[in-house]
Amino acid sequence: MKREPFWNQGSENIHHRILTWSELRSRSMPPKTWRTKRLLPDWIRRSRSCVSGGNASLNRDWKVCRRDTDEAARLAFPPGVVVAINALACELPAELDLPLSRLSMADIRRETIRRGLVASIGKTTLWRWLSEDAIRPWYHRTWIFPRDPQFAEKAGRILDLYEGLWEGAPLHPADCVLSTDEKTSIQARRRQHPTSPPAPGRLRRVEHEYERKGAWAYLAAWDVRQAKIFGRCDQTTGIVPFHRLVEQVMGQEPYRSAPRVFWIMDNGSSHRGERSDERIQDQWDNIVPVHTPVHASWLNQVEVYFSVVQRKVLTPNDFDSLAAVEDRLLRFQEHYESAAKPFQWKFTRQDLVRLLARIKAVECRQEVAT
């Protein structure tokens, strides 16, 4: 006869089974006991030590504890102290009469106590207050204020070219846009001892002392729309080396027969002023020279390529001769171009307007302060 499953049996049978299982049996083993060990502090849930006594999920407990800790810190230090310390961190060391170039967290803490703002304070508290307002006085960045009276107009034309526009109209599909510049004084440094390759647990080793074997000037032109690079090495920069580069590019298709070839260049001595524009346009009537404003090399896309060359070709600098430098640079052009794509330039004319407005506001504040 087939037995019914346990869950299909009557309630009387279930009651009988419960009583049977609950009886004391002589064969039952004595319960084993272990000494309870105290959990490590890191294993204890933060809700057990919270002021609020919350015992929900771990994430909620952590937020409650963090809120309680921050609240306790705010109660310990009046808001005026926080504002005063943040203002102190935003001052230049010279204004504080300190013989420093920049402030560290320890310097801010020491100056805070010396001024009597607080009797004692921890670095963690200071770090939390400064990080809330993204104040990091130990960092700096270089900056050049625009001083070209036509900065917006000149920079706007270049940004329009990167977006495929010229004087408000779209570029012709056959138009070309080239960005050109020179990277000067590329030295060939022959190390006193051979460079050793990396090994497990050991970095690549490059000898510190070297012998100079000469230097190149690297002239290059970057095709903004087609992601092509043209370059050459010369003994020096100047009008003649620059015209050699122009001839190298314009002597081949599609640039020779293109309707317009825009050459974006800075105001270096090799290609500065109206006379320079006339020289290249007399030889190539489809060239349209476009000059960047003064101190605006960041608008020239070829500088992005030069940064790649510096990282991937010239660092570390270990060459036996100038010929080795030239060979590496020219072969890298082919290597880079085989997988290159146009740069995704995201800075637009609208971004330029906002940037110049912020710079103008800074200049006005400085004039008021002086």
pLDDT band at 49 (very low <50, low <70, confident <90, very high): very low
3 vs 281, higher pLDDT: 281
Per-residue pLDDT of 103-150, as tens digits, reads 999 999 999 999 999 999 999 999 999 999 999 999 998 888 888 889
The pLDDT of residue 35: 53
pLDDT above 80: residue 347: yes
Task: List own/partner pairs for 361-368 with CB under 8 A and 24 or more apart.
Answer: 363/145
Domains, the chain, in order of start with CATH, read 47-132 (no CATH), 151-194+207-353 (3.30.420.10)
Q: What is the mean pLDDT of the chain?
A: 85
pLDDT above 50: residue 182: yes
pTM of the model: 0.72
pLDDT above 80: residue 176: yes
The pLDDT of residue 147: 84
pLDDT band at 46 (very low <50, low <70, confident <90, very high): very low
Per-residue pLDDT of 290-334, as tens digits, reads 999 988 989 999 999 999 999 999 999 999 999 999 999 999 999
Cα separation, 225 vs 176, in Å, equals: 7
Please choose, from the candidates 213, 226, 200, the residue with its C-alpha nearest in 3D space to the C-alpha of residue 318: 213
pLDDT band at 39 (very low <50, low <70, confident <90, very high): very low
Cα separation, 367 vs 147, in Å, equals: 16
Average pLDDT over residues 152-171: 96
Lowest mean per-residue pLDDT among 13-22, 159-168, 181-190, 210-219 = 13-22
Average pLDDT over residues 86-111: 94
178 — phi, psi (to 5°)? -115, 140
Which percentage of the chain shows pLDDT scores above 70? Answer: 79
The pLDDT of residue 76: 73
Element containing residue 335 per DSSP (H, E):
helix 322-337
The pLDDT of residue 124: 92
Q: Omega into 146 within 30° of 0, i.e. cis?
A: no
Per-residue pLDDT of 359-370, as tens digits, reads 888 888 877 877
- Yes or no: say if 194 and 323 are a contact pair by the CB < 8 Å rule: no
Per-residue pLDDT of 248-263, as tens digits, reads 999 999 999 999 999 9
The pLDDT of residue 272: 87
Average pLDDT over residues 350-365: 90
180 vs 368, higher pLDDT: 180
The pLDDT of residue 3: 52
The pLDDT of residue 59: 55
pLDDT above 60: residue 45: no
Per-residue pLDDT of 189-217, as tens digits, reads 999 999 999 999 999 999 999 999 999 99
Indicate the burial class of 271 (C-beta count within 10 angstroms; 0-12, 13-18, 19 or more).
buried
Strands 261-265 and 176-191: parallel
